[in-house]
Chain A
Amino acid sequence: MATKLHAANSLRGMYRNLLAIQEVTTAGTFNSAYTSQSIQIPVGNGIIATPVFPVSVTNYYFHAECAASGTNQNNSSGAPWLQLLDSAGTVVFKLVYSSLGNIIAQYWNGSGYTNSGSTFLAPWFTTGLALSAIDLNVVCGASGSWTLSVAGSPLASGSIASASVDNIARLYLGNLSQQPMQWSQIKGADYDHSTEPLMFSELNGDSAANAGQLSGTYADLDTVPINDSTFVAIGTSGNKAGFTHTGITIPGGYYMSAMCLGAKMRRTSTISDGLFGVRSGSTNADGAALGMVGGYDVFNDMLDTDPVTSALWTQSTFNAAEPYLGAV
């Protein structure tokens, strides 16, 4: 059974380590058919990260679109651009800077990192503001392998010969310092999803059904500039705050595969936890408690079907559904 692991088109579904990281709408840094923005990691060694995956996998497929604002990315040798972590938090595979505009793959051998495959010139560092659709497949284990494709064509590959590459449970994306780096269409799964786009839907406002339980304004959910000191809040356990969102038009030839929710949030004081939910028709469907621990975390919820009807999503049911967040 195919499992979707993470999905984000904006910083609202990604953890970031620098306040300077922002969303940008510069033409050429994202595909406007599917989203209105990309995540920009500024010059420096900033990182954006997914949540820990709901399950760790041994065969991981990553897809994203990226662009660099300029050419000839440069950094100190070994600076990471993409990192995969196992369930223990060890970086088990990474793509790192090698030389001007070049990258090399490395895997964890239990005590250090072993180069894998040949150094390759990354086209997104030589073109500037031109989107590159990247697909990476990593197979864990002593007989593992990796393959990186750009626009569907293989670019680089190598073998993994270490059982210390045991599983993959989280993704870090970085920059290589000299030019800002943009990311969108960031998805991961345990199957090849290279031809499955992620369509962004903007928030509109309060859900009619789950309204009046939220303090703050929707401007506080804006992530430009990023500021975790502004937020909307639910002040009572058991209350829910619902959100309407813009309708999407599915391009011809595509079907709905999942509703993907991402949120960065925290709980305080006697609020013990939080949850995602979806209101479909006139029914609320709570998700499981998320296991929040106090500080800001980023969470994903990937709903393959409408949780109220268990039916496959359609354009109309997706557009009518109102995701909500609940205080436990």
Chain B
Amino acid sequence: MSKLVFAGASSELPNTGSTSNSPGIPGTQDVGGVLLAAVMTQDNQVHSCATAGWNLVGQYNGTGLTLSVWWAAAGAAAPTFTWTSSVANVAQVVYFRSEWDNPVAVTPVGTPGSASIGSSSTHTSTGVTGVGDQDVVILIDTTLSNAALTTPSGWTYVADQGGGPSFGNQHITFCSKLINAGSASGSTSSAGGSSNWVTIQLELIQDLAPANELQISALEVNAWLTGTAPPASGRRRQGAIVC
């Protein structure tokens, strides 16, 4: 069971030329949920956000466009993102609610993978590793074309937002992938807008702790037998996965 589940997206249309964007936030939020925002502008404008509670994950420049990613704990005020020049832009906020009964918020966004950039209609992204069991990885695609990314195989569509062409085309697409085997999300390749693009993957960390506990969901005891009396070694061997 994933502890973070997509529960809504902002719906404000993209702005066709301005120095800010206020995408709004989706609906009612619960304690432990995570708000994730993606902001795209033309050119390599430096994005800022003065709204309390919003944290920059990173900003990633492509050719003629830039993408910044932000997160906030559920309940944060609707953000306003700003930059210096009046350019085409689009921003969207998606909300993931926590399935914990009594979550305790920790930093919910892991270290993102490497950004990928390109210009063809085939958009690729670089996977993230070290993902926790049952964590959700988010793929964000943005392009200077008003076309959503085709959901890559094995991924789930979350939301998209775009507009144009009066002040330039732009589009953002969110996809998600529940990691329930191994610890790597894997790279992606799928069709997207035939223009310049930037993609990034990042992990939403599931460890929104419900309590201060060591929780044991399974325990097994076995005796390893042998046909010959073993020599004493006095050793013990421990192994663990990090997923």
> Taking beta carbons and an 8 Å cutoff, which residues of A are in contact with B?
1, 3-13, 15, 17-19, 47, 49-55, 89, 170, 187, 193, 195-201, 203, 215, 220-221, 223, 227-236, 241, 243, 245, 248, 250-251, 253-271, 274, 276, 287-288, 290-305, 307, 310-313, 318, 323, 325-327
Please judge, given known A-B contacts A52-B240, A307-B236, whether A89 and B184 are in contact too, CB under 8 Å. yes
B134 adjacent to A6 (CB under 8 Å): no
B203 to chain A, nearest CB (A): 11
Please judge, given known A-B contacts A269-B213, A288-B238, A304-B230, whether A8 and B220 are in contact too, CB under 8 Å. yes
Contact among B207, B209, B216 with A264 in the assembled complex (CB-CB below 8 Å): B216
Contact among B104, B209, B222, B240 with A292 in the assembled complex (CB-CB below 8 Å): B240
Closest to A198 in B: B222
CA distance in complex: A255, B231 (Å): 11
A227 adjacent to B1 (CB under 8 Å): yes
Please judge, given known A-B contacts A302-B236, A303-B236, whether A199 and B222 are in contact too, CB under 8 Å. yes
Contacts of B132 in A (CB 8 A): 293-296
A294 adjacent to B207 (CB under 8 Å): yes
CA distance in complex: A170, B210 (Å): 30
A327 adjacent to B239 (CB under 8 Å): no
Contacts of A305 in B (CB 8 A): 232-235
> Would you give the 0/1 interface string for B173-216, flagging 1 where the beta carbon is closer than 8 Å to chain A?
00000001111100000000000000000000111011111111
B221 adjacent to A260 (CB under 8 Å): yes
Having A89-B183, A260-B221, A290-B238, one finds 15 other A-B pairs with CB under 8 Å, namely A4-B224, A11-B218, A198-B223, A199-B224, A223-B218, A229-B1, A231-B215, A256-B226, A266-B215, A267-B213, A268-B215, A269-B209, A269-B212, A291-B240, A294-B132
Please judge, given known A-B contacts A223-B218, A296-B134, whether A258 and B241 are in contact too, CB under 8 Å. no
Contact among B133, B209, B223, B228 with A250 in the assembled complex (CB-CB below 8 Å): B223
Contacts of B228 in A (CB 8 A): 255
> Is B50 in the interface zone, CB < 8 Å from A?
no
Closest to A241 in B: B216
Contacts of A233 in B (CB 8 A): 211, 213-216
Closest to A299 in B: B240
B29 to chain A, nearest CB (A): 21
Please judge, given known A-B contacts A263-B218, A298-B240, whether A201 and B223 are in contact too, CB under 8 Å. yes
Closest to B179 in A: A17
B135 adjacent to A271 (CB under 8 Å): no
CA distance in complex: A51, B205 (Å): 21
B237 adjacent to A302 (CB under 8 Å): yes
Contact among B134, B135, B182, B213 with A235 in the assembled complex (CB-CB below 8 Å): B213
Closest to A262 in B: B220
- How many residues on the B side are at the interface (Cβ–Cβ under 8 A)? 49
A287 adjacent to B225 (CB under 8 Å): no
Contacts of A258 in B (CB 8 A): 223-224
Please judge, given known A-B contacts A47-B181, A312-B232, whether A259 and B221 are in contact too, CB under 8 Å. yes
B223 adjacent to A248 (CB under 8 Å): yes
B223 adjacent to A265 (CB under 8 Å): no
Contact among A49, A223, A254, A265 with B215 in the assembled complex (CB-CB below 8 Å): A265
Q: Which of B207, B210, B213, B217 has the most CB of A within 10 A?
A: B217
Contacts of B52 in A (CB 8 A): none
Contacts of A11 in B (CB 8 A): 218
Closest to B209 in A: A268
B184 adjacent to A260 (CB under 8 Å): no
> Is B243 in the interface zone, CB < 8 Å from A?
yes
A268 adjacent to B212 (CB under 8 Å): yes
Contacts of B222 in A (CB 8 A): 7-9, 13, 198-201, 259-262
Contacts of B229 in A (CB 8 A): 255, 312
Contacts of B217 in A (CB 8 A): 220-221, 227-228, 230-231, 264-266, 296
CA distance in complex: A225, B132 (Å): 22
CA distance in complex: A287, B223 (Å): 18
A158 to chain B, nearest CB (A): 26
> Would you give the 0/1 interface string for B122-135, flagging 1 where the beta carbon is closer than 8 Å to chain A?
00000001001111
A320 to chain B, nearest CB (A): 13
> 27 A-B contacts, Cβ less than 8 Å apart?
A1-B233, A4-B237, A5-B239, A13-B218, A17-B182, A18-B181, A55-B237, A196-B227, A200-B221, A229-B1, A253-B227, A254-B226, A255-B228, A256-B226, A256-B230, A258-B223, A259-B222, A265-B218, A266-B215, A270-B212, A291-B240, A293-B132, A294-B205, A295-B206, A296-B132, A296-B134, A312-B229
Contacts of A271 in B (CB 8 A): 212-214
B56 to chain A, nearest CB (A): 23
A277 to chain B, nearest CB (A): 10
A198 adjacent to B225 (CB under 8 Å): yes
CA distance in complex: A248, B223 (Å): 8
A190 to chain B, nearest CB (A): 11
Please judge, given known A-B contacts A89-B182, A258-B224, A318-B223, whether A299 and B134 are in contact too, CB under 8 Å. no
Please judge, given known A-B contacts A257-B230, A268-B210, whether A52 and B225 are in contact too, CB under 8 Å. no
CA distance in complex: A291, B240 (Å): 8
Contacts of A269 in B (CB 8 A): 104, 209, 211-213
Closest to A223 in B: B218
Contact among B129, B134, B218 with A12 in the assembled complex (CB-CB below 8 Å): B218
